[in-house]
Amino acid sequence: MFHFEKCEDVGDHLFKTNPPQKTCFVKERFELEKKTVDLLRALKPNFGYDGFGEFLFYRTYSRIKDDNSNENWADCVIRVVNGVMSIRKDWYIKNNIFWDEIKWQGFAKHLSFSMFNMHWLPPGRGLWSMGTDYVYNTGSMSLFNCGFVTLNDIPNNLHWMMDALMNGVGVGFGITKNSRITCVTPTDTNIRVIIDDSREGWCDSVKILLESYTMPGHPTVKFDYSLIRKVGLPIKRFGGISSGPEPLIKLHENIRKYCSRYLCSNSHNYSSTMLKADLANLIGCCVVAGNVRRSAEIAIGSIDDTDFLNLKNYEDEKFDYRKEHGWMSNNTVRLESAEDFEKLDDVAKSILKRGEPGYLNLMNVRNCGRVGKDDRVQIDEAEGLNPCGEIPLESYELCNLAESIPTRCRNVEEWYDACRYATFYCSTVNLLPTHRQETNSIMFKNRRIGVALMDFVGWKHAYGVCKTTRWMREGYKIVEKTNKELAIEAGIRESIRKTTVKPGGTVPKLTGKSSGIGYPNFKIMKRRVRIQMNSPIHKFLVAHNVPHEKDLYSDNTEVFEFAIKSDCPKEAKDVSIWEQAMNIVLVQREWADNAVSNTICFKPKWILLKETCIKNPDIKDIMDLLEEMVTEFGVAEPDSFYGIWETFDHDCSYKMISDIDDKRIIVKLYEFNTKNEEDEIESVLSSIAPLTKSISMLPHTSKGVYKQMPEEEMTEDEYQNWKKIVTPFDWSKLSKYQAQGEKFCDGDRCSV
């Protein structure tokens, strides 16, 4: 039974969820020497993408300082380095290990300059949270990228999951086939629970509600939301703006709805697999709606679980209700036996229909080394993955990552140093416990970290496969040696796994480099960003002539256009499905002893050329729209239209699909792709499955087919014109702007 603090002496049935506990996880502090700080402040940062990288830093990671000005890049580097060094210093002093201040000041100087020049970078959550009182007082969870939990004890598992998501951790959840939930009807006795205005209060309320449906004799829960802050007020500890209690109220209503549905249903109509997925996805939706930064999920299930395989089959009446929340997670199946590999043909067919599922090869995951390189006795007991697919994890386990950027280094020796610094960052974060005991016991056993590569394809095309292979092998040895030496000095075990490739999200855009092992969508592109009109950064961008227009989808918001030019020699559309697959195999063998975050993009048979939507259409709107499509692309005019229909021209090179109802008309025009790769999917999956740990696949998405897309191709002339229009940014004039961060990881695998 969940424990509550009794609220006031008005009876035994009034309770208040537990408020946050005041603790101190880091007492000792480290500060860079003044001469190092002065040198850093005198440097000019080299952000990527003609100002877009610097804009993203200020929009996403720049905190407000005590004088109400915003952190610049040097301020952020100083905060991060002071923070990570404070964690290590605190560990040494707590455990009576000698702390050599002169030695560590010299190390911290080199660490900070390498980070300033972006030879290595912490993850986005490290840029945001490291060195803050939030970390010092609540522990390390907000510094971790990845988490996983197996759903077998629903109240406790989902309480942990919501807590991690609200700290910005992406969480995977495992669903075991035939592991049923035992649901009960709450008793007629009522308890009223006053929800504390905190992360802890929100999570505790979900746990007590779930307990009322899983513990016999539990009273019916009625919530009091009066203490939760109103819409628009700042979230003090973690940052962001409050959404008010509405997302939590909706979550509570949905928990009651789906638990009651499970109680009234048999396993054929509404299974435990469906209930577990619904509850996990609904919690994710609540966290996102609550304005918490960067939340994402992945579901891991059995390849033999029909309900799991159909969770996103919205054409099936049984699953169509999940459209409202099923989008919250990517879905992946486990490959646990040789027989499972024989079912990859079914996986390929599902990918063609829905872009999912991916797979997790547990047979390779069990070995702690790199695939095909290390035959180690040590066994990894990981059961699942994080949402981006690069870290195998046990239940309740977390992992922290950092990236090395070889294409930002002047030579390979600088990159080797960057590997050492990234390893130091990750290994040091692992010294700091979280506020969750069940997590600490797993993390202290494994000490799992992920030192990642950024812009692998740019590196490979610049120097060739032979050299990059040799450098990855040497870099791996350096990471391994550094981690072991740091572990011995700190008196802990070395990490069970150490290297990976992550999708990157916003961080690669700071550097102007490609994410992970992915290719850019275009060599030159417009990158659109939505900014609220009452934001200080909106006024700043307008003053610098950044092109913008009214957002077609949101009120009081405008869309700003930045021009980006990639230095990668290839675009995504020019790279075959097989080349992408071989890149994954190469990096999985030579670098990543964890997994490689990836999305293999295949060329679909039908390419979307244009999509148009008209709300509340009349017959004239419909006729005008169809005439516009026919005239613009020269396709054959359809004989009739109603509901959903298709029409082809004489050589069947175009397809038009229209969805019409009383409220809107959506028309999509497709062109047949003679170079499609759909027939290659099964061959690719079956060929590389034994050589990899996780794979996901999606069709190439068309760019520019609807207005205000996030990315759209542009010409060299348009790019040069943008540079002439926009005046140089003077970020010192920005003040009192609290960075917000994205609601989702925006790398290729975490996207939802």
115 DSSP β-pair partners = none
Highest mean pLDDT: which range of 550-554, 693-697, 700-704, 729-733 = 693-697
> For residues 391 and 610, is the Cβ–Cβ distance under 8 A?
no
Q: Is residue 661 part of a domain?
A: yes
Residue 290 has pLDDT above 80, yes or no: no
Residue 642 lies in a domain: yes
Least confident of 460-464, 498-502, 649-653: 649-653
Higher pLDDT, 68 or 752: 68
Reported as a single tens digit per residue, the pLDDT across 23-50 is: 789 999 999 999 999 999 999 999 999 8
| Cβ proximity of 568 and 514 under 8 Å | yes
Tell me what pLDDT residue 742 has.
45
What would the two tokens of residue 488 be?
A: 């011995």
Q: Would you say residue 740 lies in a domain? A: no
Residue type at 369? G
Which strand (E) or helix (H) includes residue 359?
Answer: strand 358-361
Q: Which of 3-17, 481-495, 587-601, 664-678 has the lowest mean pLDDT?
A: 3-17
Report if residue 32 sits inside a domain: no
Give the whole-angstrom CA distance, residue 525 versus residue 715.
Answer: 8
Where helices occur in 388-433 by DSSP H, the ranges are 412-429
Does residue 516 contact residue 507 with C-beta atoms inside 8 Å? no
Sign of the alpha-carbon torsion through 28, 443, 166, 218? negative
Closest-CA residue to 508 (of 582, 428, 559, 566)? 566
Can you give 702-732 as a three-state secondary structure string?
CCCCCCCCCEEECCHHHHHHHHHHCCCCCHH
> Which residues, including other chains, have CB under 8 Å from residue 646's CB and lie 6 or more apart?
655, 656, 657
Position with higher pLDDT, 230 vs 715: 715
Grouping H, G, I as helix, E, B as strand and the rest as coil, residue 43 is coil
- The CA-based angle 403-416-105, given to 5 degrees, is 85
Which whole number is the average pLDDT over 372-395?
86
Determine the pLDDT at residue 374. Answer: 66
Q: What string of H, E and C letters represents the secondary structure of 287-338? A: HHHCCCCCCCEEEEEECCCHHHHCCCCCCCCCCHHHHHCHHHEEEEEEECCH
In the chain, what percentage of residues exceed pLDDT 70?
86
Write out the two tokens for 549. Answer: 């227009």
Residue 622 in any domain: the answer is yes
pTM (2 decimals)?
A: 0.89
Report how far residue 572's alpha carbon sits from residue 351's, in angstroms, rounded to the nearest whole number: 19
6 — phi, psi (to 5°)?
-65, 135
Over residues 409-415, mean pLDDT:
98
Strand, helix or coil for residue 192: strand
Q: Kindly report which listed range (129-143, 407-421, 706-720) carries the lowest average pLDDT score.
A: 706-720
Q: What is the mean pLDDT of residues 594-600?
A: 93
Instruction: Please write the tens of the pLDDT for every residue from 443-487.
Output: 999 999 999 999 999 999 999 999 999 999 999 999 999 999 999
Segment (H or E) for 648: strand 644-648
Catalytic residue, chosen from 388, 409, 426, 601, is 388
d(CA 405, CA 389): 20
The confidence score (pLDDT) of residue 678 equals: 93
> What is the phi/psi pair of residue 560, to 5°?
-105, 145
Measuring CA to CA, which residue among 703, 497, 495 is closest to residue 607?
A: 703
pLDDT at 6 over 70: no
Q: Which residue out of 54, 200, 297, 390 is catalytically annotated?
A: 390
Q: Is residue 643 part of a domain?
A: yes
Q: Which two tokens stand for residue 218?
A: 């539990």
pLDDT of residue 358: 92
Per-residue DSSP letter, 69 = B
pLDDT band at residue 720 using 50, 70 and 90 as cut-offs: very high
pLDDT at 643 over 70: no
Which has the higher per-residue pLDDT, 484 or 672?
Answer: 484
Q: In this structure, what DSSP letter does residue 432 have?
A: S
Range with top average pLDDT, 66-75, 104-113, 328-337, 599-608: 104-113
Name which residue leads in pLDDT, 9 or 366.
366
Task: Domain count for the chain, please give it.
Answer: 1
Lowest mean pLDDT among 127-141, 251-265, 637-651, 672-686: 637-651
Position 669 scores a pLDDT of 76
Contacting residues for 661 by C-beta, under 8 A, at least 6 apart:
none
Convert the pLDDT of each residue in 73-83 to its tens digit.
999 999 999 99
What confidence category does residue 239 fall into, taking pLDDT thresholds of 50, 70 and 90? low
Nearest Cα neighbor of 62 from 239, 199, 234 is 239
- d(Cα 8, Cα 254) in Å, to the nearest integer? 29
| pLDDT averaged over every residue in the chain | 87
Q: Higher model confidence: residue 655 or residue 96?
A: 96
Q: What is the pLDDT of residue 369?
A: 82
User: How many Cβ atoms from other residues are within 10 Å of residue 235's Cβ?
Assistant: 20
Per-residue b or e along 86-110, where b marks 16 or more CB atoms closer than 10 Å to that residue's CB: bbbbbbbeeeeeeeeeeebbebbbe
Residue 405, SS3 per DSSP = coil
647, 635 Cβ separation under 8 angstroms: yes
Confirm whether 649 is domain-assigned: yes
Question: Degrees (nearest 5) of the Cα angle 747, 743, 666?
Answer: 80
Is residue 289 predicted with pLDDT exceeding 60? yes
What is the arithmetic mean of pLDDT over 148-169? 94
- Rounded CA-CA distance 95/92 in Å is 5
pLDDT at 267 over 60: no
Could you tell me the two tokens for 234?
A: 């700042």
Give the model's pLDDT for residue 226.
Answer: 93
The Cα–Cα gap between 431 and 422 comes to 15
Distance CA 198, CA 236 (A): 10
Name 694's Cβ contacts closer than 8 Å, sequence gap at least 6.
332, 358, 359, 360, 361, 385, 389, 390, 392, 595, 596, 598
Which H or E element spans position 565? strand 557-565
pLDDT category at 10 given cuts 50, 70, 90 is very low
76 is catalytic: no
Q: What are phi and psi of 511, to 5 degrees?
A: -90, -15
Determine, yes or no, domain membership for 636: yes
Q: Dihedral of the CA atoms 430, 436, 439, 443 (nearest 10)? A: 20
- CA dist., res. 118 & res. 242, Å (int): 33
Task: Say whether pLDDT at 697 is over 70.
Answer: yes
pLDDT cut 90: percent of the chain above it: 67
Q: Which of 744, 751, 752 is nearest to 291 (CA)?
A: 744
Contact 314, 323 (CB under 8 A): yes
What whole-number distance in Å separates Cα of residue 395 and Cα of residue 173? 8
Helix (H) or strand (E) holding 610: strand 606-615
Q: What is the pLDDT of residue 543?
A: 93
> Measured in whole angstroms, how far is the alpha carbon of residue 209 from the centre of its chain?
28
* Per-residue pLDDT band at 2 (split at 50, 70, 90): very low
Q: Give the pLDDT score at 368.
A: 80
The model's confidence at residue 660, banded by pLDDT at 50, 70 and 90, is low
Q: How does pLDDT run across 97-143, given as a tens digit for each residue?
A: 999 999 999 999 999 999 999 999 999 999 999 999 999 999 999 99
pLDDT digits (tens, 9 = 90+) for 365-381: 988 888 887 655 678 99
CA distance 730 to 282: 42
403 part of the active site = no
In which domain, by residue range, is 649 found? 606-672
Asked if residue 430 has pLDDT above 90, the reply is yes
